[in-house]
Amino acid sequence: MDRLYHGRRRSVALGSVNLPHGRPEPWARRGPLALDLTDRARYESQTVQPKPFLIITCLALVTSACDDGTAARPTAAGTTAASVPAATPTVSASSSASLPAKAEHPDRPVNVIFLIVDAMRADMPWQGYDRPIAPHLTKLADQSVVYPRAYSVSSYTAKVLGALLSGRYPSTLYRGQTFFTAYSKANLFFPELLQKQRIRTMAVQAHGYFDRGKNLRQGVDLWQIVPGLKWNAETDENVTGPQTTEMAIKLLGDKANTGGPFFTWLHYMDPHDKYVVHEGVPSFGRRARDLYDGEIYFTDLQIRKLLDFCEKQPWWSNTVLIITGDHGEAFGEHGQWKHAFALWEVLTHVPLIIHGPGIEPRRIEARRSHIDLAPTIIDLMGLEPHPDFVGKSLVPEFYGAKPDDREPIML
């Protein structure tokens, strides 16, 4: 293994693991195998033999491991926890001195809109970046709970989505070994739990991966794909933000979908390469990072339109909005460009914004993972945590409880 997996910051954990309940389909790999390392090796012409152990690349996220300067911080703004402007109160796991009074929890279940922005780096304006590339999300962040140290579980979408949907790490799921990962129906995805409780579940997706038999739609009542997509396995040539927004507004504007509790999952794809110039978006330059910043600005405009609609709806006062990136994006840091194949911080450190009734604006500095979002959504919607979940609900802490200390974040 190369230098990425050496040293204090990255390590390899070996051990047994509890697999999700259910019987895998015949094509699914049985048992915990080193699929992440195998995938990486396949693209780098190395040989890694799977072992009968769970092998997980682990980010040892402890303060004492941050003094060797080897990890790639979001460098465009030089952001660290200390450099993030504290416009709102800050809460850490080790101190309760700045904790606000515990907020009143709304009646459950609330509605949840889960909004993923593809390839959205952590160094956004509300976390110290000096370019105004997301004015509307920045305003929303000032009115929300923000996790400045949130992390994905991988550096590309296909591995991340299984973890987001299952509340488990990718290496513990029944899945295929290809880059565009297919998941077995034996895996339990949290929308299935919602569906069993007659909670309306909806999704709007904007990439061909979501429409190619990968079993990502388990438990989703209404699954819509932006029409007319071009397939390119190397990049994303489509511009889909406006269509994603219009389709989401149509779904959310239908009283048949929002007359009772509902969950909606939206995935905005445009910040994914290929980076293109959009009309009505200011120019930040011609380099790759400049064009990417324009893509974030363009996506911010689409999200503004969506939220302008949502804020006028009768259900908005009982709706929690969760916004995150599925992974980051590299622009030359550690010789990396775009994403996938590596686990540097620029590729795994992501924004996390949570906005809703009774949620007081503040920053929670405790490190948290995408693995916590499935149990969080289930908790918000009034269900008990499922025994398959590895993560823990964030609901108590963003409603005012002291953040607890947790295990190191695994990638």
pLDDT at position 268 over 90: yes
Measured between alpha carbons, how far is 387 from 141 in angstroms, rounded to an integer? 32
Which pLDDT score is estimated for 338?
A: 61
Give the best-scoring range by mean pLDDT among 55-69, 153-167, 251-265, 394-408: 251-265
Q: Please report, for the domain that includes residue 322, its CATH number.
A: 3.40.720.10
Cβ 108 vs Cβ 381: under 8 Å: yes
pLDDT of residue 373: 96
Q: Nearest Cα to 292, choosing from 132, 84, 79, 133?
A: 133
Q: Which of 87-91, 100-104, 151-155 has the lowest mean pLDDT?
A: 100-104
Same domain, 10 and 111: no
Is it the case that residue 20 has pLDDT exceeding 60?
no
> Given pLDDT bands bounded at 50, 70 and 90, which one contains residue 143?
very high
Q: Tell me the average pLDDT of the chain.
A: 75
Q: Is 356 a member of any domain?
A: yes
Range of the domain at 18: 3-62
Q: Is 96 found in the same domain as 56?
A: no
Residue 203 included in any domain: yes
Q: What percent of the chain has pLDDT over 90?
A: 41
Confidence of residue 346 (pLDDT cuts 50, 70, 90): confident
The more confident residue out of 173 and 24 is 173
Q: Do 385 and 249 share a structural domain?
A: yes
Number of structural domains found in the chain: 2
Query: Of the candidates 16, 42, 62, which is a domain's last residue?
Result: 62
* Same domain for 391 and 270: yes
User: Does residue 411 form part of some domain?
Assistant: no
Inside any domain, residue 364:
yes
Same structural domain for residues 288 and 375?
Answer: yes
- Higher per-residue confidence, 340 vs 13: 340
Note the pLDDT of residue 179. Answer: 58
Q: Which of 402, 408, 354 is nearest to 92 (CA)?
A: 402
Q: Which pLDDT belongs to residue 364?
A: 95
Q: Is residue 67 part of a domain?
A: no
pLDDT over 50 at 78, yes or no: no
Domain final residue pick, 42, 62, 82: 62
Looking at per-residue confidence, does 177 or 11 come out higher? Answer: 177
Q: Assign 242 a pLDDT band (cuts: 50, 70, 90).
A: very high
Q: 46 with 185, same domain?
A: no
The predicted structure's pLDDT at residue 44 = 38
- Based on the fold, state whether residues 112 and 22 are members of the same structural domain: no
The answer to whether residues 102 and 45 belong to one domain is no
Residue 274's nearest CA partner among 259, 251, 294 is: 294
168/231 same-domain check: yes
Write the pLDDT tens digit of every residue in 117-132: 998 989 999 999 999 9
Torsion of CA 182, 187, 190, 196, to 10 degrees: 120
pLDDT in tens, 204-223: 986 656 676 667 788 989 98
Are 143 and 254 contained in the same domain? Answer: yes
**What pTM did the predictor assign?**
0.76
Give the per-residue pLDDT at 88.
56
- Same domain? For 17 and 146 the reply is no
Q: Tell me the C-alpha distance between 95 and 85, whole Å.
A: 19
User: Could you tell me if 37 and 176 lie in one domain?
Assistant: no
Residue 84 has a pLDDT of: 35
Token representation of residue 43: 């693209």
pLDDT at residue 266 greater than cutoff 80: yes
3-state SS track over the chain: CCHHHCCCCEEEEEECCCCCCCCCCCCCCCCCCCHHHHHHHHHHCCCCCCCCCEEEEEECCCHHHCCCCCCCCCCCCCCCCCCCCCCCCEECCCCCCCCCCCCCCCCCCCEEEEEEECCCCCCCHHHCCCCCCCHHHHHHHCCCEECCCEECCCCCHHHHHHHHHHCCCHHHCCECCCCCCCECCCCCCHHHHHHHCCCEEEEEECCHHHHCCCCCCCCCCEEEECCCCCCCCCCCCCCCHHHHHHHHHHHHCCHHHHCCCEEEEEEECCCCCCCCCCCCCCCCCCCHHHHHHHHHHHHHHHHHHHHHHHCCCCCHHHEEEEEEECCCCEECHHHCEECCCCCCHHHHEECEEEECCCCCCEEECCCEEHHHHHHHHHHHCCCCCCCCCCCCCCHHHHCCCCCCCCCCCEC
